[in-house]
Amino acid sequence: MSQLFTRQSSILAAVSFLSLMVIAGSVNAQSLQVKQWAASCSACHGTDGYSEGGMASLAGQTKAELIQKMNEYKSGKRVASIMHQLSKGYTDEQIEQISAYFASLPVEKAAPKKTK
């Protein structure tokens, strides 16, 4: 009886470990997807949303700010030359995830590591 119990719990442990790996895998795939969406903003707003000047940086703005601005572009409340069209290409969920991504980045770009 106790042997059976041990075997069952090791199977249970193996199954829970595997399901954890599956969950971890889907989280990674999801964040990769968000990074790809965010990368399309980089063309104008700078790599990772860090502008080199002349354009607003997205990195480090709060999630709420970014969502609000995107929604205002979408609705036409915020006047724009480009963003009113671009913002319409994203669902509310995509905008939320992209905004969370940029908000998770520090305001200042990390200083480049010195080589050598």
Please report, as ranges, the residues that interact with ligand HEC according to CB under 6 A: 40-41, 43-45, 56, 58, 66, 69-70, 80-83, 86, 98
Task: For residue 14, give the amino acid letter.
Answer: A
Tokens for 86?
């671009």
CB 80 within 8 A of CB 69: no
C-beta closer to ligand HEC: residue 81 or 91: 81
CB 90 within 8 A of CB 70: yes
At its nearest, how many Å lie between ligand HEC and the CB of residue 59? 11
At its nearest, how many Å lie between ligand HEC and the CB of residue 60? 11
Cα gap 54→71, rounded to integer Å: 23
At its nearest, how many Å lie between ligand HEC and the CB of residue 78? 8
At its nearest, how many Å lie between ligand HEC and the CB of residue 83? 4
How would you class 38 by CB atoms within 10 Å of its CB: exposed for 0-12, middle for 13-18, buried for 19 or more?
A: buried
C-beta closer to ligand HEC: residue 58 or 105: 58
CB 109 within 8 A of CB 59: yes
C-beta closer to ligand HEC: residue 86 or 100: 86
C-beta closer to ligand HEC: residue 21 or 65: 65
